[in-house]
């Protein structure tokens, strides 16, 4: 998968997300659950998986490293650092959390997402389990693209809310 192809997918999804009609995704519950929580690494993992799968329907969204034994493994870290991070900084106002190196944290250091990965109990574990259970249900590039557009729409709302918090009258 070429980095430029992922970047093109992101910008196409941004254009669609900025259209006035509200986009829907059959995976909106997963996207809402992950993006509405506070674990930054899982947010980046989700958006990276959506962008990669939307670009190449053959990738496995559970894969985090090209060396994973999963069929359809890809280098999610390179995609995240080479496309997602810059896109988030320039177009989404750091709505995912503004991390420069999100895949350096422990949840992203495994070859793939698995319920056996080390994770803190509680909410972090719930997010990991939700990703493990639901990412494989994204069956093709079209579903992933719709999910990506939905996620970007949600992140644009977060960006606007953050901007309003920093602008106030004295």
Count of residues in the chain:
170
Place of tokens 């070859």: 111
Q: Is the pLDDT of residue 144 over 80?
A: yes
- What number of other Cβ atoms are within 10 A of residue 24's Cβ? 12
Percent of the chain residues past pLDDT 90, beyond the cut: 78
Residue 167, pLDDT score: 61
Q: Is the pLDDT of residue 152 over 90?
A: yes
**Angstrom distance (rounded) from CA 65 to CA 111:** 5
What single DSSP character describes residue 23? P
Helices and strands (DSSP H and E) totals, the chain: 7, 0
User: 29-56 pLDDT, tens per residue?
Assistant: 999 999 999 999 999 999 999 999 999 9
| CB-count exposure of residue 161 (10 Å: 0-12, 13-18, 19+) | exposed
Instruction: State the average pLDDT over residues 9-21.
Output: 94
Percent of the chain residues past pLDDT 70, beyond the cut: 96
Q: Is the pLDDT of residue 8 over 80?
A: yes
**Angstrom distance (rounded) from CA 50 to CA 57:** 10
Instruction: State the average pLDDT over residues 118-132.
Output: 89
Q: Is the pLDDT of residue 170 over 60?
A: no
User: 65-114 pLDDT, tens per residue?
Assistant: 999 999 999 999 999 999 999 999 999 999 999 999 998 877 788 999 99
Instruction: State the average pLDDT over residues 143-169.
Output: 87
Phi-psi category of 98—alpha, beta or left, where left has phi over 0 and alpha has psi -120 to 50? left
Place of tokens 């496309």: 83
């Amino acid at each position: 998968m070429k980095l430029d192809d992922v970047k093109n997918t992101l910008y196409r999804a941004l254009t669609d997300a900025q259209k006035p009609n509200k986009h829907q995704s059959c995976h909106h519950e997963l996207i809402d659950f992950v993006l509405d929580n506070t674990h930054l690494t899982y947010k980046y993992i989700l958006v990276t998986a959506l962008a990669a799968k939307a670009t190449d329907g053959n990738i496995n969204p559970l894969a985090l490293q090209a060396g994973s034994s999963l069929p359809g493994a890809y280098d999610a870290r390179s995609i995240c650092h080479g496309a997602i991070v810059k896109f988030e900084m320039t177009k989404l106002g750091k709505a995912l959390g503004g991390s420069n190196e999100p895949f350096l944290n422990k949840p992203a250091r495994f070859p793939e997402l698995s319920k056996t990965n080390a994770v803190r109990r509680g909410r972090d574990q719930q997010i990991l389990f939700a990703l493990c259970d639901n990412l494989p249900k994204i069956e093709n590039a079209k579903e992933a693209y719709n999910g990506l557009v939905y996620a970007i729409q949600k992140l644009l709302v977060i960006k606007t809310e953050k901007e309003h918090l920093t602008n106030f009258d004295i």
